[in-house]
Amino acid sequence: MNSEHDIPNSSTMRVEVQRYRPELDARPWWQAFDVPYTNDTSVLEALQYIKDELDSSLSFRWSCRMAICGSCGFMINGVPKLGCKSFLRDYGALKIAALDNFPIERDLVADISGFVEKLETVKPYLMREDPSDLDTSVPISRAFNQTPQQLSLYKQFSQCINCGICYAACPQFGRDPEFLGPAALTLAYRYNQDSRDQGKKDRMPLLNAEEGVWGCTFVGYCSEVCPKSVDPAAAINQGKAASAIDYALNLVQLGGDK
Amino acid sequence: MNAPKENNKTLRRPYKVEQKPLWWLDNSYYFRYMIRESTSLIVLIYGLVIVVGLLRLTQGPYMWQGWVETVSSPLMFPLHLLALLAVVYHAYTWFKLAPRIMALRISGKPVSDQKVEWAHWIVMLGVTVACLLVASCGGALL
Ligand code: SF4
Ligand code: FES
């Protein structure tokens, strides 16, 4: 595993890492390491080098090291990014901290459990008016076909890997942790846009609420930093149009949510 | 944030960082966002000046003339210039964002963001020219 770290004549980089050990430290502090690297050393690998060779007490989250599990989000020189998708060759020096706007559990581990709970509240699954459509006790007897065009209405918004990076890039979430935030609102919109779904009326009250789409002021940084090009800012602000229409329909009692 | 009360054996002590009052100074993206939002304040002030003008118009020619003289005084020139710059910059940022809100489709095919952005500029220029024409013709009729 260390063979690639040991490439002779490789350069080293000064990597500062934010430490916070709840049982010892009153507040986070910076610890510096010199890390050897080559052209393809990722920030995640640099952290692994530190843990393997320099200080085994360093904590950070990772799993897939290929930008799909969403575990390795850090503030890298002040910008929220995936550690496994960022490379030392693009930096002169590194400062790595836990994701902004979340409580720091330990070192580089942000406590994103509040974010995960938000994802659950928006009912991120297909809902049908006729419950027998979802009856799993009988063999599937019909397909819910979708045209490529219908798919394209939500496909981009379904690429989210729940990394929480957009929450670290959202000053509205930083100000008010109750704000549902970019990924959760995008997820709600993704299901509302799905032609197979009929649960929109159950999700609209969440989107219409103050912690819903209207908490967003289109700062737009979430879309800038999203590693999967989900463009949550677009989903939320399209959601505002949907929410406004829903509100107008309610006013004239034509339906919408109750 | 403190450790959960019901389990006093836990060593969990999540560290909560409060948002700085000047958070938007730390990041150039946030800074540009604040500039974008503050241009709308200038536009609001200018809008109020126009509303006052409308009010004066309803109060008769004498009051109207007074308002016209006030807004055309050289002292007001910086406000006009500032408002023009603010409107153009706000339009520029807004037209950049608008395509992503509209997600326009023509016969099922998504229209490119650039086209929607340009369409906004064309409509704005068209309306501006039309307003200027009407205004100057109206002036000529008087
Ligand atoms: S929308 Fe993008 S940045 Fe936000 S959680 Fe999903 S993948 Fe991460
Ligand atoms: S380790 Fe899975 S996204 Fe980086």
- Residue B3: which pLDDT band, with cuts at 50, 70 and 90? very low
DSSP β-bridge partners for residue B105: B110
Torsion angles phi and psi, residue A77, rounded to 5:
50, 45
Summarised one tens digit per residue, pLDDT across range A196-248 is: 999 999 999 999 999 999 999 999 999 999 999 999 999 999 999 999 998 88
| Tokens 């309803």 sit on residue | B58
- Residue A254: which pLDDT band, with cuts at 50, 70 and 90? low
Q: In this complex, do B15 and A23 lie within 8 Å of one another by their Cβ atoms? A: no
Neighboring chain A residues of B23 at a CB cutoff of 8 Å: 171, 174
Mean pLDDT of A104-120: 97
| Closest chain A residue to B102, measured at CA | A238
**Centre of ligand 1 from the C-alpha of residue A184, in Å:** 9
Within 8 A by CB and 6+ apart from A157, the residues are A186, A187, A189, A190, A193, A230, A231, A232, A235
Q: How far B54 CA lies from chain A's nearest CA (Å)? A: 30
Contact call for residues A50 and A62 (beta carbons, < 8 A): no
Tell me which residue of A51, A61, A56 sits closest to A104, measured CA to CA.
Answer: A61
User: In this predicted structure, what is the pLDDT of residue A237?
Assistant: 95
More confident residue, A7 or A246: A246
| Tokens 């939500």 sit on residue | A154
Examine the pLDDT at A1 and tell me if it is beyond 50: no
- The helix or strand, by DSSP H or E, that contains position B80, with its residue range, turns out to be helix B77-102
Lowest-pLDDT range, A184-188, A245-249, B26-30? Answer: A245-249
> What's chain B's average pLDDT?
89
Tell me which residue of A107, A109, A91 sits closest to A35, measured CA to CA.
Answer: A91
Q: From the list B11, B29, B110, which residue is nearest A221 (CB)? A: B29
Contact call for residues B116 and B98 (beta carbons, < 8 A): yes
Torsion angles phi and psi, residue B90, rounded to 5:
-65, -40
Q: In this complex, do B27 and A78 lie within 8 Å of one another by their Cβ atoms? A: yes
Q: In this complex, do B30 and A219 lie within 8 Å of one another by their Cβ atoms? A: yes
Q: From the list B11, B12, B100, which residue is nearest A237 (CB)? A: B100
**Centre of ligand 1 from the C-alpha of residue B126, in Å:** 39
Q: How far B62 CA lies from chain A's nearest CA (Å)? A: 43
Contact call for residues A149 and A141 (beta carbons, < 8 A): no
Q: How far B99 CA lies from chain A's nearest CA (Å)? A: 9
**Centre of ligand 1 from the C-alpha of residue A227, in Å:** 7
> B-contacting residues of A 32-61, CB under 8 Å?
none
Q: From the list A103, A149, A233, which residue is nearest B108 (CB)? A: A149
Tell me which residue of A193, A200, A238, A247 sits closest to A218, measured CA to CA.
Answer: A238
Examine the pLDDT at B7 and tell me if it is beyond 90: no
Provide DSSP, chain A: --TTTT-TT-EEEEEEEEE--TTT-SS-EEEEEEEEE-TT-BHHHHHHHIIIII-TT-----S-SSSSS---EEEETTEEEEGGG-BGGG-SSEEEEPPTTS-EEETTEE--HHHHHHHHHT--S---SSGGGG-TTS---------HHHHHTTTGGG------HHHHT-HHHHH-TTS-HHHHHHHHHHHHT-TT---HHHHHHHHHSTTTGGG-----HHHHH-TT---HHHHHHHHHHHHHHHHHHHHTTS-S--
Summarised one tens digit per residue, pLDDT across range A189-207 is: 999 999 999 999 999 999 9
DSSP β-bridge partners for residue A66: none
Summarised one tens digit per residue, pLDDT across range B58-116 is: 999 999 999 999 999 999 999 999 999 999 999 999 999 999 888 888 887 888 999 99
> What's chain A's average pLDDT?
92
Query: What whole-number distance in Å separates Cα of residue B20 and Cα of residue B1?
Result: 17
DSSP β-bridge partners for residue A79: A76
Q: In this complex, do B14 and A103 lie within 8 Å of one another by their Cβ atoms? A: yes
User: In this predicted structure, what is the pLDDT of residue B142?
Assistant: 57
SS3 B16: coil
User: In this predicted structure, what is the pLDDT of residue B9?
Assistant: 76
Examine the pLDDT at B139 and tell me if it is beyond 80: no
- The helix or strand, by DSSP H or E, that contains position B110, with its residue range, turns out to be strand B109-110
Which ligand lies nearest to the CA atom of residue A65 in the structure? 2
User: In this predicted structure, what is the pLDDT of residue B5?
Assistant: 56
| Closest chain A residue to B100, measured at CA | A234
Task: For chains A and B, count residue pairs whose Cβ atoms are closer than 8 Å.
Answer: 63
| Closest chain B residue to A235, measured at CA | B101
What residues are in contact with ligand 1 under a 6 Å CB criterion? Answer: A 160-166, 182-183, 186, 226-228, 230, 232
Side chain identity at residue A119, one-letter code: L
Within 8 A by CB and 6+ apart from B121, the residues are B91, B95
